[in-house]
Amino acid sequence: MNGVELVVDTNVLINLAEGKPGLDQYLNRNRLYVSSITEIELLGWYKITKEEAAFFTLLLSDCKIVGLKSEVKKLAIDLNQKVRLPDAIIAATSLYLDLPLVTYDSGFEKIKNVNLILLS
């Protein structure tokens, strides 16, 4: 994959920080979008260290952060009946942007319209 646009789930960025191999093909040279909920989940974790916060801040600076626009909220409201709220917002972001969602979370398979790239 070169030069494609993708929405990245929080767990992908956490796995990157932990050094999980195989993520380069999805993250390098691609335009990455994250939901504002991902930013909150990463930087708002109660056990985050200064080093982790610096790493995620730098990583997020290379991503386009998508806020809770009214269209995203409407989609998330419908999806919240299928998945938990943070995942509903992330999936709604993917649907709103009409971009594939890269994740390790198979729970997104409950949402039929999401173009899912499920990692293992």
Q: Examine the pLDDT at 2 and tell me if it is beyond 70.
A: no
Cβ neighbors of 108 (< 8 A, separation 6 or more) are 9, 83, 87, 91, 101, 114, 116, 118
In the chain the domains, ranked by start, together with CATH numbers, are 5-118 (3.40.50.1010)
Q: Examine the pLDDT at 92 and tell me if it is beyond 90.
A: yes
pLDDT digits 0-9 by tens, 60-87:
999 999 999 999 999 999 999 889 999 9
Q: Is the pTM of this model over 0.85?
A: yes
> Which of the two residues, 105 and 28, has the higher pLDDT score?
105
pLDDT given for residue 25 in this prediction: 86
> Which of the two residues, 22 and 115, has the higher pLDDT score?
115
Name the residue among 104, 72, 106 with its Cα closest to residue 91: 72
pLDDT digits 0-9 by tens, 12-54:
999 999 999 989 888 888 999 999 999 999 999 889 999 999 9
